Structure 1
């Protein structure tokens, strides 16, 4: 069972995960690209179980590490410090934000497989990429709750996926294993399980309005059977055509 969770990236997803982890009794090490000093207010708000560090320090000190960064920044992850670690990848590929990556556009790799290639000595697990930050917190439920939601995971290492499943359980979610990283496209943007099931009906709006709207929406419970069903109906489309969930 993980005792210390390292977070590389302290944006909205990273912050939501940190709050859930502290509430679950985990020690949390937060980091970002701007330095530990920029995280003082966040750490103070999280309480005594949280501290700030550099990404390399967080990677070395944690039992599990979450990479909560935009895909375009994957090359900045400290590969040496992450060697031998399980790394949970929350990133999604949006060409309009990340720039076009030919291997992803052509479907030759999934975004998590690209990260795994960079972190050749780590065990990458795709996780937490299908849910918006506010719903990550509002939909968390204790194990066995009738309205508990599930989130998809994918990875090439069975032990790493087991560790990710235990973490999800501690944070309030069941896990649905989609298989190896090559199958993680089933939870990527523009697939049936991505974001919308956890929100219900989403009106058309721009990115800023979408984020504000999600912060006022409690979300919709999506049980494991439904996640499995939605992932099974996915059809692989060109990754370069993916849109932000707020874009109509």
Structure 2
């Protein structure tokens, strides 16, 4: 409904960014629920080849600590982004009330609702709660997806590292060295097969997230340049969350690729 060009572009950018982010969230939900049986199958295969406690070739505790550290840091940062994003309208409302200004009833996103939001405390509160619910579900499934990737990656790194250690310690003078080498080759093929299954499960999710996030980042960047400082910080928060999401995925992909080589 904006008549000025700047306001119109800003509202379009906000709306497209919100719609794209919501679409990416629903893509996470669909992909994880649809592929649940495949994910469980991969976990079962990883459990079957998991090294025994007495095997000295595997650094289980080392990779467990690394995976837990990455997942904890990523979880804390995503929770901070989520809390800031959803508390922004409430904090703005309290600040306007304290300054005795006219209440603007500004939501987290430029979203339309079939009831009165601006000027209605009840309508505004219900709208805020709905956006909080949707954003929380979106972020929760994004965290699940990243944690799933992290678990898969460090499981694969554990096996690749153990395989390399066994190859380095293989003694050709032993009478059963040839059979040990055959077993290690079969073990390597099994790891690569599991890797292909993981790629089959997660590649559509990565593609959807990449396309959706790219559009959302472009729209959000336009809104940041055109909005006031307070609103710009809110969208910078969203931008940082998606950059962090793709950074973690790219980092984990690099880690498993380097482990394979």
TM interval, shorter chain, is under 0.3
* Higher helix content, 1 or 2: 2
TM-score, normalised to structure 2, is 0.25
Largest Rg, 1 or 2: 2
By relative contact order (CA 8 Å, sep 6+), the higher-ranking structure is: 2
* Higher strand content, 1 or 2: 1
